[in-house]
């Protein structure tokens, strides 16, 4: 199992007391600790470093750690330009890029993003699938592309990716339609269900859709997006995560816990939660550290690195520091 962490690219997570250039040191420390990947969020509604810019900055100063988006919102970018930017990051990293994408969802982080990007909200899932198909066609050297939303009778040579065919593309989401689309079209699944049982049910649906599409079920990487806060005192962990949820989403912890995976509490409690997800089938975990400043992010990074071996060794899985 691969264990990754999110870079704290939001301005509230590195200021005051730090700057975005400090995220380079955070990325290097994550690699030193043995984490397998660094992921970045995407949004226009909160001040943050643009995700592909961030990955381009850390690619040449790291060597082994994977780089990923979780989740990139293609609606925010013109599709051909996005394909070139993704190919560039894949080249700069030597083929270490994974691209998890999403179509947005109703509420604060859905329609407003489409309005800012001047792209219709309607049929957003079909638009997403076609954008991904266009990226793959460009990376494969296609000279033309014809779709419902994008049509190019003549394509000039595109920037080629490090790996033939481009980086793996995962889908976030756990609705029945998203599960079916993941199995049919995507290389991985990155949801954040609050109940491990729902993860197991969703993964079964993804694999069923893959088989029905003539794909091997194992072709879809099962990953998990989870919020993590480790404290010796459980109540302290809950208070810190509540403050993070209110800052990041404008919602209390109780509401976030209804829609997102959380592993918070003492080291033993967090380890037990992660074990339940690995038992449900997750093989790549990407942890977002619930801390409001850079010092707190570093502290949680170190605690997670110490914890993870006990979280997954019962399943016989490979973790940071135990390669």
pLDDT tens for residues 183-218?
999 999 999 999 999 999 999 999 999 999 999 999
- Architecture field, domain 2-315: Alpha-Beta Barrel (3.20)
Distance CA 95, CA 62 (A): 12
pLDDT tens for residues 1-20?
588 999 999 998 888 788 89
- Locate the DSSP E strands across the chain: 2-6, 37-40, 66-72, 97-101, 145-146, 151-152, 169-171, 188-189, 221-230, 262-265, 284-289
Burial 172-206, CB ≥16 within 10 A → b, else e: bbbeeebbbbbbbbbbbbbbbbeebeebbebbebb
Phi, psi of 285 (to 5 degrees): -115, 130
Report domain extents, the chain: 2-315
Residue 25 vs residues 53, 268, 305: alpha-carbon distances, Å: 16, 29, 16
**Of the candidates 233, 298, 211, the residue with the CA atom closest to the CA atom of residue 5:** 298
> What pLDDT is stored for residue 45 in this prediction?
81
Residues in the chain where the model's pLDDT stays below 70? 1, 106-109, 308-323
First to last CA, the chain: 11
Q: What is the pTM of this model?
A: 0.93
Distance CA 261, CA 257 (A): 7
Reduce the DSSP state of residue 98 to 3 states and report it. strand
- The 8-class DSSP code of residue 186 comes to -
């Amino acid at each position: 199992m691969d264990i990754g962490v999110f870079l704290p690219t939001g301005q509230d997570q590195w200021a005051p007391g730090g700057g975005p250039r400090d995220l380079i040191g955070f990325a290097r420390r994550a690699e030193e600790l043995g984490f397998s990947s660094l992921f970045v969020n995407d949004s226009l509604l909160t001040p943050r470093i643009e995700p592909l810019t961030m990955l381009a900055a850390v690619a040449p100063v790291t060597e082994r750690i994977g780089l990923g988006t979780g989740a990139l919102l293609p609606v925010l970018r013109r599709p051909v330009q996005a394909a070139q930017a993704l190919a560039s990051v894949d080249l700069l990293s030597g083929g270490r890029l994974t691209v998890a994408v999403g179509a947005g969802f109703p509420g604060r982080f859905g329609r407003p993003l489409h309005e800012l990007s001047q792209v219709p909200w309607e049929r957003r899932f079909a638009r997403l699938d076609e954008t991904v198909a266009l990226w793959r066609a460009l990376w494969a050297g296609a000279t033309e592309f014809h779709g419902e939303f994008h049509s190019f009778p003549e394509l000039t040579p595109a920037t080629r990716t490090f790996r033939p065919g481009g980086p793996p593309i995962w889908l976030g989401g756990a609705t029945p339609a998203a599960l079916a689309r993941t199995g049919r079209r995507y290389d991985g699944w990155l949801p954040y269900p609050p109940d491990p049982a729902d993860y197991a049910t969703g993964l079964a649906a993804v694999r069923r859709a893959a088989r029905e599409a003539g794909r091997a079920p194992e072709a879809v990487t099962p990953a998990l997006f989870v919020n993590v806060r480790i404290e010796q005192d459980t109540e302290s962990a809950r208070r810190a995560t509540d403050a993070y949820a209110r800052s990041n989403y404008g919602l209390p912890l109780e509401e976030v816990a209804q829609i997102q995976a959380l592993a918070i509490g003492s080291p033993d409690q967090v380890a037990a939660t992660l074990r339940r997800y690995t038992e449900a089938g997750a093989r790549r975990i990407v942890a977002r550290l619930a801390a409001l400043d850079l010092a707190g992010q570093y502290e949680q990074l170190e605690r997670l690195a110490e914890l993870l071996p006990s979280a997954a060794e019962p399943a016989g899985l490979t973790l940071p520091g135990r390669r």
